Structure 1
Amino acid sequence: MLAGHFGVAGIVRALRPEIPMGALLVATQLPDLVFLPLAALGIEVGEPAEPGLSGYGSLLITAEYSHALVGDLVLALLVGGLTHVFLRDRWGRDAGVVLGGVVFSHWLLDLLVHRPDLVVLPGGAGGLPLLGLGLWEFPAVTAVVEGALVLAGTVLYAWRTFRDQPSRTRAWLYGAGVGLLLVGSLLFDLLGT
Structure 2
Amino acid sequence: MLAGHFTTALVAKQEAPKGHIAYYLVAAQLPDLLWLPFHYLGLEVTHPHNIMATSLDNLQVDMTYSHDLLPLLGWIALVIGVGRALFGGWRPGLIGGLLLVVHAATDYLGGFPHNLFGPETASVGTGLYHSSPYLAVALEGVFIVATLAWVPRNDAKAGIQRSRSTYLTWAAVFGGNMAFLLFSADLSMAEMFGLTPSPAMDGTTVPMMAATYLSMLAALVWAEGKPTKARAERESSSSVPAAQGA
TM tier, shorter chain? 0.7 to 0.9
Query: Paired residue for 1:110?
Result: 107
CA RMSD of aligned residues (A): 2.8
Gaps of 5+ in 2: 186-246
Q: TM-score, structure 2 length as denominator?
A: 0.62
Partners of 1:14 and 1:57 in 2: CA distance: 35
The residue aligned with 2:172 is: 180
- 2:13, 2:21 within 8 Å by CA — same for their partners in 1? yes
Query: Aligned equivalents of 1:74 and 1:171: distance in 2?
Result: 38
Question: Which one of 126, 138, 146 corresponds to residue 133 of structure 1?
Answer: 126
Change (3 A) 1:158 1:192: farther
Pairwise CA distance, 1:72: 1.1
Question: Which aligned pairs between 1:1-193 and structure 2 lie closer than 5 A?
Answer: 1-47=1-47, 55-89=55-89, 93-114=90-111, 117-121=113-117, 124=118, 127-136=120-129, 137-161=131-155, 164=158, 168=161, 170-192=162-184
- What's the TM-score once normalised by structure 1's chain length? 0.76
Deviation of 1:70 after TM superposition, in Å, equals 1.1
Amino acid at match of 1:132: G
Letter in 1 for 2:122: P
Which protein has greater RCO, CA pairs closer than 8 Å, 6+ apart? 1
Distance 1:88 1:149, change over 3 A: farther
Q: Percent identity?
A: 27
**Cα distance change of structure 1 residues 21 and 180 upon mapping to structure 2, 3 Å threshold:** farther
Q: Which has the larger radius of gyration?
A: 2
| Distance in 2 separating the partners of 1:82 and 1:12 | 16
Preserved contact between residue 88 and residue 94 of structure 1 (Cα < 8 Å): no
Q: Is the 8 A contact 1:150 1:183 kept in 2?
A: no
Relative to total residues, which structure has the larger strand share, 1 or 2? Answer: 1
Report how many residues are paired. Answer: 180
